């Protein structure tokens, strides 16, 4: 078992818990007679078992048992595993309450522990999983004696990956109600050794751009208070050595398995210590905990790499592919789909969709997806959300007729929903205006002319589920694109009592999870793709329910280079919804070669977002070849190890990434020349991840090369004339 307990290390350190992964060690100490839970160490794996010298417990202000007069100074500098509010630690804390008397102070004292094989599920929440032989779990049982709060700090350690996951269960063992006003999932306290933070920021159509920030006394904050994990900030942070690269240096990655409001902070304190915290945002959060009720925080995933950001990335990818995504599609090719959104927008009917399907099927495309506009009176975005009944003026003969006709062409059929939303102009809203999130007497804020359903209510959940499920039962629908196109505002529920109104945001997210869990139970073979105005909910919580997420509404291949680079820093290529779209691009107006659009989309799930009946004949003729390329390489792209070779975001001229088979027998590198220049020479790129002792052939070229040569001396990419040109380089 990878968790070891050592007792009586010294008089001051009563217990040490050593959590070992293949290449890292995480140490927790129970310190002093009061049982302070201390962070001792996280980093390269250690054999050492004497850890008494790791803490500055013999420096001023000393332990409270030696110097209780300066307890506040001790609490304000001691490295804590789970810092609490109001008793002397003035750094960012992880836990805060409000009692019936209005007090907020709380503490945490160790009481007992459990070590078990396996990893228990988190009821109602997405989380990583593993078999008993793959993962072990440590639970530290702690308490706050005055309030009767019991904490269960859970740590799970994976045997084959450098991963530690954390979450906390809070139980009210007292006799009075308490209110949680902050309940984070994880904290990391350690010396700030000239670290930088990597975060992923952006906006709609500009998601997950990589940002590096030196860590100092100004607090770095990554957060969402929009009701979803958001376009603007992804629930991820990495702490790295300032000079760490893609293949060298220490990196600590943290990712939050949650799809709603979150808060991540990183700050250096007055003594040069770094504290990183991660959890549900306290913004609009106040959770009532009656006696014997419990609250579970979502899971935080911690990854350690001593081989740069690249090793961190590959660890996240392996963890999520093996221990988070559950879909039967996770280990097999996804059907190549064509979505009609950018082809037709709302202007379509059965005849038009069948025409697209006929042409697409003849070219090897495998699925037609009908996007927004098929229901109610939906001819624009002002109406009918919530009225999930087929508009037979557009689709004469109904949905089953259309699906059957598409199936006759040998194609699968998929459909778009936005289940969480309701239009003011809808039959559902006219019947149930109280089902929308709103504050009585306040003119509710509209976004995209729609409101949000109150998914804290079971009646709303049941109606929403049946509306979706009845459509799926009516025809052979094998794919659902689940969209969510606005933020949450005007936080009021006609269902929740006043003392539970602060639970609405979290209950909303739990409602989304329950709907998708229920959907997958009834339709276990359904391919579900989550979407939120593009990439506003691209997070590990969603991956628990869907094996792929629409990466961004920006389908421009050149824009996608940085979007997909940032996404792939944490999330597997197999999860990134990526399509070949029309040109000039509908969002940027850029004209990019059809071949390049295909190569960039090949780094994701691969599909088409255009009217295949109207594109230039030269582009149409390339589709069978692109389809063949997808089938040739997708197993490698989906299952292989990802390497970042060059970044257009950094160099302003070119981009390159690669995927290498686990046994290093095969690799596929994609090179994109973004900007051409005069009098250029061939560019040298150095591959990564190959076996230095093997001999490789490059498809379509003469000669053989050792892996050692290709990684050290590099490869000269043949010249390509013009901007936005690309090349696939296949090694075997």
Active site residue ranges: 483, 553
Q: Say how many C-beta atoms besides its own lie within 10 A of residue 462's C-beta.
A: 12
Report the largest interatomic distance among the alpha carbons of the chain, rounded to a whole angstrom.
83
C-alpha closest to that of 535 among 508, 562, 506: 562
Q: Say how many C-beta atoms besides its own lie within 10 A of residue 6's C-beta.
A: 15
* Torsional class of 648: left (φ above 0), alpha (ψ -120 to 50), beta (otherwise): alpha
- Cβ distance 427 to 387 under 8 Å? yes
CA dist., res. 216 & res. 382, Å (int): 47
C-alpha closest to that of 539 among 335, 265, 304, 299: 299
C-alpha closest to that of 483 among 533, 526, 519: 533
CA dist., res. 264 & res. 304, Å (int): 18
CA dist., res. 632 & res. 625, Å (int): 10
CA dist., res. 231 & res. 208, Å (int): 7
Q: Which helix (H) or strand (E) holds 704?
A: none
Q: Which helix (H) or strand (E) holds 391?
A: none
CA dist., res. 461 & res. 493, Å (int): 14
CA dist., res. 314 & res. 317, Å (int): 5
* Three-class SS state of 460: helix
Mention every residue, 6+ apart, whose C-beta is less than 8 A from residue 468. 388, 417, 419, 480, 515, 519
Structure tokens at 201: 């920021």
Q: Is the peptide bond before 72 cis (omega within 30 degrees of 0)?
A: no
CA dist., res. 319 & res. 637, Å (int): 16
Q: What is the DSSP letter of 444?
A: P
Structure tokens at 608: 């088409």
C-alpha closest to that of 184 among 256, 267, 88, 109: 256
Q: Is the peptide bond before 61 cis (omega within 30 degrees of 0)?
A: yes
C-alpha closest to that of 322 among 529, 167, 129, 164: 129
C-alpha closest to that of 406 among 449, 355, 455: 355
DSSP 494-536: SSS-GGGGGGHHHHHHHHHHHHHHHHHHH-TT-EEEE-BTTBT
Place of tokens 């659009």: 597
CA dist., res. 297 & res. 295, Å (int): 7
The residues with which 96 forms a beta bridge, in sequence order, are 182
Q: What is the DSSP letter of 33?
A: T
């Amino acid at each position: 078992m990878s968790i070891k307990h050592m007792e009586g290390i010294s008089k001051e350190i009563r217990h040490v818990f050593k959590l070992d992964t293949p290449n890292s060690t995480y140490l927790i100490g129970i310190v002093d007679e009061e049982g302070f839970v201390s962070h001792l160490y996280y980093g390269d794996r250690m054999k050492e078992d004497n850890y008494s010298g790791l803490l500055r417990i013999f420096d001023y202000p000393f332990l409270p048992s030696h110097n209780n007069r300066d307890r506040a100074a001790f609490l304000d500098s001691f490295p804590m595993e789970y810092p609490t509010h109001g008793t002397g630690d003035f750094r960012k804390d992880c836990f805060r309450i409000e009692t019936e008397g209005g007090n907020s102070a709380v503490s945490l004292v160790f009481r007992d522990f459990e070590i078990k094989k396996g990893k228990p599920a988190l009821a109602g929440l997405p989380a990583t999983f593993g078999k008993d032989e793959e993962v072990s779990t440590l639970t530290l049982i702690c308490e706050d004696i005055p309030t009767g709060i019991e904490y269960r700090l859970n740590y799970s350690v994976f045997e084959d990956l450098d991963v530690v996951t954390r979450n906390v269960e809070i139980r009210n063992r007292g006799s009075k109600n308490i209110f949680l006003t902050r309940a984070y999932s994880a904290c990391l306290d350690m010396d700030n050794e000239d670290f930088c933070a990597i975060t992923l920021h952006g906006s709609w159509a500009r998601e997950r751009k990589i940002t590096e920030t030196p860590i100092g006394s100004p607090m770095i904050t990554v957060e969402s208070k929009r009701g979803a994990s958001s376009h603007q900030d992804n629930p991820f942070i990495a702490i790295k050595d300032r000079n760490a690269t893609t293949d060298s240096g220490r990196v600590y990655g943290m990712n939050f398995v949650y799809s709603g409001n979150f808060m991540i902070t990183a700050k250096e304190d007055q003594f040069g210590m770094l504290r990183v915290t991660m959890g549900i945002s306290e913004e609009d959060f106040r959770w009532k905990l009656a006696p014997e009720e419990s609250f579970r925080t979502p899971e935080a995933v911690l990854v350690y790499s001593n081989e740069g950001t690249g090793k961190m990335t590959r660890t996240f990818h392996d963890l999520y592919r093996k221990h988070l995504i559950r879909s039967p599609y996770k280990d097999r090719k996804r059907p190549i789909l064509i979505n009609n959104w950018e082809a037709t927008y709302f202007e379509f009917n059965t005849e038009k969709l069948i025409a697209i399907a006929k042409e697409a099927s003849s070219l090897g495309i495998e699925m037609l997806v009908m996007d927004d506009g098929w229901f109610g009176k939906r001819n624009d975005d002002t109406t009918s959300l919530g009225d999930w009944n087929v508009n037979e003026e557009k689709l004469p003969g109904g949905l089953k007729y259309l699906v059957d006709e598409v199936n006759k062409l040998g194609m699968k059929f998929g459909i778009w929903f936005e289940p969480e939303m309701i239009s003011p102009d809808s039959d559902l809203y006219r019947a149930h205006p109280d089902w929308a999130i709103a504050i009585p007497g306040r003119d509710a804020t509209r976004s995209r002319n729609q409101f949000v359903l109150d998914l804290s209510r079971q009646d709303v959940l049941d109606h929403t589920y049946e509306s979706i499920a009845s459509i799926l039962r009516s025809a052979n629908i094998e794919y659902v694109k689940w969209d969510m196109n606005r933020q949450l505002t005007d936080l009021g529920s006609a269902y929740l009592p006043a003392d539970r109104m602060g639970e609405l945001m979290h209950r909303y997210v739990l409602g989304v999870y329950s709907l998708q869990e229920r959907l997958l139970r009834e339709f276990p073979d359904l391919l579900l793709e989550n979407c939120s105005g593009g990439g506003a909910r691209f997070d590990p919580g969603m991956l628990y329910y869907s094996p792929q997420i629409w990466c961004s509404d920006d389908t421009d291949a050149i824009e996608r280079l940085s979007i997909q680079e940032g996404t792939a820093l944490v999330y597997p290529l197999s999860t990134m919804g990526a399509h070949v779209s029309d040109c000039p691009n509908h969002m940027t107006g850029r004209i990019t070669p059809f071949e390049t659009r295909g190569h960039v989309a090949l780094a994701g799930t691969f599909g088409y977002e255009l009217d295949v009946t109207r594109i230039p004949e030269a582009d149409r003729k390339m589709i069978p070849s692109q389809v063949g390329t997808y089938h040739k390489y997708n197993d490698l792209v989906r299952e292989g190890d990802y390497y970042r070779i060059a970044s257009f975001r950094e160099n302003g001229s070119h981009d390159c990434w690669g995927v290498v088979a686990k046994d290093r027998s095969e690799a596929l590198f994609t090179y994109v020349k973004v900007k051409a220049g005069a009098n250029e020479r061939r560019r040298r790129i150095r591959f990564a991840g190959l076996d230095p002792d093997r001999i490789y052939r490059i498809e379509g070229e003469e000669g053989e090369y050792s892996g050692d040569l290709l990684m050290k001396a590099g490869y000269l990419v043949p010249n390509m004339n013009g901007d936005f040109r690309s090349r696939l380089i296949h090694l075997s």
